[in-house]
Amino acid sequence: MKKILMVLLAMVILGGCTLARSDLTLVSTRNVDLSRMAELEKDRVRVEGSDTKHIIIFVPTKQAPNIKGAIDEGLQCKPGCVALVDVVAEYKFWYIPLIYGQERWDIEGTCLIDPRYEKPRK
């Protein structure tokens, strides 16, 4: 019985959680001219972005992570990406008391690319 309680206690202490999961149709942190939506090209590859805060002992390394930071990172994955479509957003955290932990927002979506963006020359 003692071993079972120790295993359950370890699972609770070392476990992580996903608190929020959202499915979003269109998301951007940039100004997007909606009258030009028909001109934007949908990319075939999905991109990912995250915003993470580390917790060392009990001291956070920065302010709370936010979904805006994760979206910004996703938009920077492709040149000319102005918005993400079919987005899945998740908030996750885990913490080992008085040792280390993480708090983070993860997003995954497909880029909408503005063809007017000048592609870099090779």
Q: Write the pLDDT tens digit of every residue in 71-122.
A: 999 999 998 899 999 999 999 988 887 888 899 999 999 999 988 876 655 5
User: Are residues 55 and 33 in contact, defined by beta-carbon separation less than 8 angstroms?
Assistant: no
For residue 36, which amino acid is it?
R
Q: Which residues pair with 19 in a beta bridge?
A: none
Q: Is residue 55 part of a domain?
A: yes
pTM for the model stands at 0.76
119 falls within a domain? no
Is residue 86 within 8 Å of 110, Cβ to Cβ?
A: yes
Q: Is 42 helix (H, G, I), strand (E, B) or coil?
A: strand
The structural domain count of the chain equals 1
CA distances, 62 to each of 3, 22, 104, 110 (Å): 38, 24, 12, 28
The pLDDT value recorded for residue 15 is 61
The answer to whether residue 118 sits within a structural domain is no
Residue 7 lies in a domain: no
